[in-house]
């Protein structure tokens, strides 16, 4: 996905801090989001992701720090900020007894679009999100994916330039999740800036131009998905030998080439080793195995993923996080 070319960030946060009783939810979080791009906000449960979104969307106030959305201060100009954002939470905020069209028209009128304007805008969004055929059915009859699309449509009624998506695909099946990804990509192509929190690492890898990882309320890493993957872990080569009795010879050959002892799975008859020099090292490994008389049944190179990054960054310092029932860190 191609990022936007905004001259200045459409969302900027500097040194946000927030405490809930004895729990430090945020401890100096800073981030920037450009128009026409996606910023993925990643972190374990309790890291502070949802608290950050709540501050930026004016639902709660930070104890200290500064944040602006579309040029407006979230603390001093909350009404102006709300006029310029759309928000989709983890659960669809819809009335199941009303039809899809009625939900959108009602919300449009609450946004002062007027009766005719609300109906026109509702029709446009129902078409865009593929809900025209279901527009006059009660929302309680919608599938999970349809509800999420309608919820996203509702957040766009007033043409906001900024969209906050807080785990928007939670509970969706893979097909519905992929459909929602396409919709988000289309919105970004139209110039909308999207701040995305998600527990699905492949979702951030697919959608995000930039990623910020937070843990215990602090930013611990940031950059593009590719730069984070390059910086944390190298590619891994997995080799499956044709005969189990060749495992020792294969292990010795790989140790000589890589300089480290490979991981061995005796049951699967496979060996894995991290690659440092990609093609050059791969060629040396193939020659070493051939020289050792090892017949290879399968060979695969596994590139690092954001899941590898996430685990390596957050696992070493995981600790229980206490949350209260209302307003605790997420």
**pLDDT tier at 307, thresholds 50, 70, 90:** confident
Residue 318 pLDDT exceeds 80:
no
Reported as half-sphere exposure (CB side, CA atoms, 13 A), residue 255 has a value of: 10
Which residues lie closer than 8 Å to 57 by C-beta, 6 or more apart? Answer: 74, 81, 82, 85, 87, 164
* 3-class state of residue 111 by DSSP: coil
Which residues lie closer than 8 Å to 41 by C-beta, 6 or more apart? Answer: 31, 49, 52, 53, 195, 196, 197, 211, 212, 214
pLDDT at 325: 34
The size of the chain, in residues, is 330
21-34: pLDDT as tens digits: 999 999 999 999 99
| Cβ-contact 125, 89 below 8 angstroms | no
CA dihedral 71, 30, 170, 323 (to 10 degrees): -120
Closest CA to 88 of 156, 186, 183, 164: 164
> How far, in whole angstroms, is CA 12 from its chain's centroid?
18
Q: Which domains does the chain have, with CATH numbers?
A: 11-84+160-230+311-317 (3.40.50.300), 235-303 (3.30.70.100)
Alpha-carbon gap, residue 181 to 173, rounded angstroms: 12
Q: Count CB-CB contacts under 10 A for residue 54.
A: 20
152-189: pLDDT as tens digits: 999 999 999 999 999 888 888 888 888 889 989 999 99
Strands 11-20 and 85-88: unpaired
Alpha-carbon gap, residue 167 to 324, rounded angstroms: 20
Q: What angle do CA 57, 58, 64 make, to 5 degrees?
A: 110
CA dihedral 164, 170, 176, 179 (to 10 degrees): 20
Q: What strand order describes the sheet that includes 23-33?
A: 23-33, 11-20, 64-69, 72-73
Alpha-carbon gap, residue 76 to 66, rounded angstroms: 10
Tokens standing for residue 276:
């440092």
Average of per-residue pLDDT across 303-316? 78
* 3-class state of residue 266 by DSSP: coil
Core vs surface per residue 156-170: b (16+ CB within 10 A) or e: bbbebbbbbbbbbbe
Residue 275 pLDDT exceeds 80:
no
Tokens standing for residue 94:
């819809």
pLDDT at 95: 92
125-145: pLDDT as tens digits: 999 889 999 999 999 999 988
């Amino acid at each position: 996905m191609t990022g936007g070319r905004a001259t200045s960030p459409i969302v900027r946060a500097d040194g946000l801090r927030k405490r809930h009783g004895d729990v430090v939810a945020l401890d100096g979080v800073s981030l920037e989001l450009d128009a026409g791009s996606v910023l993925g906000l990643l972190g374990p449960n309790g890291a502070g992701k949802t608290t950050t979104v709540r501050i930026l969307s004016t639902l709660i106030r930070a104890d200290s720090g500064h944040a602006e959305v579309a040029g407006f201060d979230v603390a001093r100009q909350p009404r102006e900020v709300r006029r310029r954002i759309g928000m989709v939470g983890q659960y669809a905020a819809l009335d199941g007894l009303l039809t899809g069209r009625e939900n959108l028209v009602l919300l449009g009128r609450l946004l002062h679009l007027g009766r005719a304007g609300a109906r026109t805008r509702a029709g446009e969004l129902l078409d865009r999100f593929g809900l025209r055929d279901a527009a006059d059915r009660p929302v309680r009859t919608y599938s999970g994916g349809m509800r999420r699309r309608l919820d996203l449509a509702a957040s766009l009624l007033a043409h906001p330039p900024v969209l906050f998506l807080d785990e928007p695909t939670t509970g969706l099946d893979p097909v519905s999740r992929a459909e929602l990804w396409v919709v988000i990509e289309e919105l970004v192509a139209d110039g909308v800036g999207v701040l995305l929190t998600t527990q699905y690492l492949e979702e951030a890898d697919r959608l995000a131009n930039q990623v910020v990882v937070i843990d215990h309320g602090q930013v611990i890493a940031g950059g593009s998905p590719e730069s984070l993957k390059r910086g944390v872990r190298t590619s891994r080569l997995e080799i499956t030998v044709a005969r189990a009795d060749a495992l020792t010879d294969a292990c010795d050959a790989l140790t000589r080439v890589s300089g480290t002892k490979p991981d061995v799975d005796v049951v699967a008859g496979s060996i894995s080793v991290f690659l440092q020099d990609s093609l050059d090292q791969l060629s040396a490994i193939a020659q070493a195995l051939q020289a050792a008389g090892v017949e290879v049944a399968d060979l695969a190179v596994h590139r690092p993923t954001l899941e590898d990054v996430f685990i390596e960054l957050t696992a070493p310092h995981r600790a229980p996080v206490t949350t209260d029932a209302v307003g605790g860190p997420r």
